[in-house]
Amino acid sequence: MDWYIIKVAFNREDSIRDSLHKRIKLAGLEDCFGEIVIPTEDVVTFTRNGTRRVVKRKLYPGYLMAYMAITDDSWFLVRETPGVGDFTGSGGKPTPMDPADVAKIVKKQEPDEDGDKPMKTSIPYRAGDRVRVKEGNFQNLEGEVEKVDEANGRVTVIISIFGRSTPVELDHWQIEQL
């Protein structure tokens, strides 16, 4: 058995995975299939009032990973499932994933030794974006994002104070897009 990537209908990954599980049971092909995974990661987001929220974000929207053995029956079962596009590969043949890539993706899904998953902070700003400070000492001043530190959830904004450009480091929830 190898890991394969299956292209599926966008935003229907969960229902298609469930449908595949049902079809596998009905066809009695459990010995040809292992896990069917939707690659996700936990991301920390902040609401407008600064409340911290953890959400699951799909790493590859529109794709599933399946640990399976390719036989005529298993290939046909997957291809004929509603919502499934095709396997990734060349020349009409499914290509197995590189084990190193599988290890990276599956490792992101598993908790660390202490039981915590590594979390990323989702910051909706990029360098060059125009923003307004909505809270803190520089409230209502406008500036341009210079640098985004996703690890710490901080954003460096260049604000013009008394005619001079000054870099100010703020929490990302203290600013809003213009």
Q: Say if residue 109 is in the same domain as residue 141.
A: no
Integer Cα distance of 20 and 10 in angstroms: 16
User: What are the residue ranges of helices labelled H in 119-163?
Assistant: none
Q: Are residues 73 and 150 in the same domain?
A: no
Q: State the residue range of the domain holding 68.
A: 2-121
- At 4-28, the pLDDT tens digits run 999 999 889 999 999 999 999 999 9
Beta bridge partners of 53: 45
Q: Locate 42 and state its tokens.
A: 């936990």
Let me know whether 159 and 114 are in one domain: no
Domain stops at, among 97, 121, 145: 121
Does 44 share its domain with 105? yes
Please check whether residues 148 and 66 belong to one and the same domain. Answer: no
Tell me, yes or no, whether 78 and 104 share the same domain.
yes
Instruction: Provide the whole-model pTM.
Output: 0.63
Lowest-confidence pick of 31-40, 75-84, 89-98:
89-98
